């Protein structure tokens, strides 16, 4: 029972720390962790698409923008309670992801990347043009979400809300990957010809992966808009899509845990990189976030293709082997296989 109990104890420790964090950290730091969880949800959807389905996307920032504007319009214009906007954003982005996935199923490699790149560039501009609905360059200002729980501040409530939704999405992703659908997606990633020969509907599962991934990004975008209390298309540039992909690769593109690591890196790495270099040079500090992300990406691709999650998983297995305990199951981190897929006949 020891190998089974240890992961459960570790998970319980992580849960206790996550729940206690808003009550020991400052309000500003609590919000920073809330944003990290939001990025982790978006990266988790990207990991499902790239790491476990073998496709590529440079346009997930666009799905976040659509989710954010869905929440903002629902609350500000239509007068919906903010919890209703989350499933609406997921459904809307999921449908759009399904439509794009139908076209993406016929594309591969650089062509799919360029198609999603066009999506990341076009959607924020299209949203900005609809000034009567989206507010144009001024955006949409929302009322800050207030805590309905006595003794819990607004910042603490927002963090706990993001934590609860993130926990649900991570559990759903774990169950999905352990199901027949997850095994079919991994089969498509590893080889479309072999998957098709085994009876897997390649086009269906590629499209489904795109839809689920877009729905995750839509929920993340809606939470981002509600937490910020301001939604503008300028908050979702193409660099956001690149940052999500880099965060997924550095954290561990074929790992559920890697999405959480990627979310933390996406939120805190630019802040601390700027603070570290600001006393030296302001221009250097402004360039620090992109430079550090690029450097980490090169290091991961050269030394650890499994990302930070892969390194931690290997270290854990070595410790277990040295302790003389045989793990009962493998880590959820897989060596990412991002080679060009073979087209199904």
**Confidence tier at 334 by pLDDT (50, 70, 90):** low
Block residue for tokens 């800050």? 144
Stretch 11-35: mean pLDDT: 91
Closest CA to 260 of 324, 171, 186: 171
Q: What is the pLDDT of residues 266-293, one digit of tens each?
A: 999 888 877 777 777 777 777 777 777 7
Phi/psi at 106 (5° precision) = -95, 0
- Of the chain, the percentage scoring pLDDT greater than 90 comes to 46
SS3 state of residue 140: strand
What pLDDT, on the 0 to 100 scale, is given for residue 135? Answer: 87
Block residue for tokens 């956001």? 240
What pLDDT, on the 0 to 100 scale, is given for residue 298? Answer: 86
- Lowest average pLDDT, out of 41-50, 62-71, 80-89, 304-313, goes to 304-313
**Confidence tier at 30 by pLDDT (50, 70, 90):** very high
158 Ramachandran zone, left/alpha/beta (phi>0; psi -120 to 50): alpha
CA-based R_g, the chain, Å: 20
Q: How many CA atoms lie within 13 A of 72 on its CB side?
A: 24
SS3 state of residue 231: strand
Contact predicate 210/101, CB 8 Å: yes
Write down the mean pLDDT value for the chain: 85
SS3 state of residue 20: helix
Strands of 62-213 (E only): list them: 140-141
Euclidean distance between CA atoms 35 and 265, whole angstroms? 11
Phi/psi at 284 (5° precision) = -65, -35
Euclidean distance between CA atoms 251 and 208, whole angstroms? 24
Q: What is the pLDDT of residues 48-65, one digit of tens each?
A: 999 898 888 888 999 999
Closest CA to 71 of 273, 226, 183, 217: 226
What pLDDT, on the 0 to 100 scale, is given for residue 290? Answer: 76
What pLDDT, on the 0 to 100 scale, is given for residue 327? Answer: 52
Please indicate whether residue 325 or residue 21 has the higher confidence score (pLDDT).
21
pTM of the model: 0.88
Contact predicate 231/71, CB 8 Å: yes
Phi/psi at 117 (5° precision) = -60, -45
Contacts of 186 (CB under 8 A, 6+ apart): 52, 53, 177
End-to-end CA distance of the chain: 47
Q: How many CA atoms lie within 13 A of 211 on its CB side?
A: 15
What pLDDT, on the 0 to 100 scale, is given for residue 86? Answer: 96
Q: How far is residue 309 from each of residues 253, 306, 313, measured CA to CA in Å? A: 9, 7, 6
Q: How far is residue 281 from each of residues 267, 273, 291, measured CA to CA in Å? A: 22, 12, 14
pLDDT at 209 over 90: yes
Stretch 64-73: mean pLDDT: 95
Helix orientation angle between 154-177 and 202-228, rounded to the nearest 10 degrees? 170
Q: What is the pLDDT of residues 245-259, one digit of tens each?
A: 999 999 988 889 899
pLDDT at 184 over 50: yes
Q: What is the pLDDT of residues 79-121, one digit of tens each?
A: 999 999 999 999 999 999 999 888 777 777 778 888 888 888 8
Helix orientation angle between 109-129 and 82-104, rounded to the nearest 10 degrees? 140
DSSP at 344: P
């Amino acid at each position: 029972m020891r190998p089974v109990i240890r992961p459960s104890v570790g998970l319980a420790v992580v849960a206790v720390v996550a729940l206690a964090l808003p009550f020991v950290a400052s309000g500003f730091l609590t919000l920073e962790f809330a944003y990290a969880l939001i990025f982790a949800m978006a990266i988790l959807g990207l990991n499902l698409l790239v790491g476990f389905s073998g496709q590529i996307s440079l346009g997930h920032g666009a799905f976040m923008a659509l989710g954010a504007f869905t929440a903002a319009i629902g609350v500000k214009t239509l007068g919906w309670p903010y919890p209703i906007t989350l499933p609406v954003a997921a459904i809307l982005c999921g449908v759009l992801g399904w439509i794009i996935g139908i076209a993406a199923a016929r594309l591969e490699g650089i062509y799919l990347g360029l198609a999603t790149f066009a999506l990341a560039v076009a959607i924020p501009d299209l949203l900005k043009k609809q000034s009567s609905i989206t507010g144009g360059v001024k955006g949409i200002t929302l009322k800050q979400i207030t805590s309905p729980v006595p003794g819990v501040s607004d910042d603490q409530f927002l963090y706990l809300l993001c934590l609860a939704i993130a926990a649900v999405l991570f559990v759903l992703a774990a169950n999905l990957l352990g199901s027949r659908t997850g095994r079919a997606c991994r089969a498509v990633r590893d080889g479309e010809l072999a998957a098709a020969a085994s009876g897997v509907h390649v086009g269906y599962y590629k499209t489904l992966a795109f839809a689920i991934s877009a729905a995750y990004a839509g929920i993340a975008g809606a939470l981002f808009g509600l937490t910020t209390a301001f939604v503008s298309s300028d908050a979702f540039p193409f660099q956001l899509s690149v940052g999500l992909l880099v965060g997924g690769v550095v954290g561990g593109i074929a790992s559920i845990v890697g999405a959480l690591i990627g979310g933390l890196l996406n939120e805190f790495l630019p802040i601390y990189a700027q603070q570290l270099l600001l006393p030296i040079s302001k221009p250097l500090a402004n360039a620090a976030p992109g430079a550090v992300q690029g450097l980490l990406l090169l290091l991961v691709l050269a030394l650890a293709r499994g990302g930070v999650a892969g390194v931690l998983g290997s270290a854990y297995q070595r410790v277990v082997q040295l302790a003389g305990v045989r793990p009962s199951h493998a880590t959820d981190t897989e060596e990412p296989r991002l080679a060009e897929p073979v087209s199904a006949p």
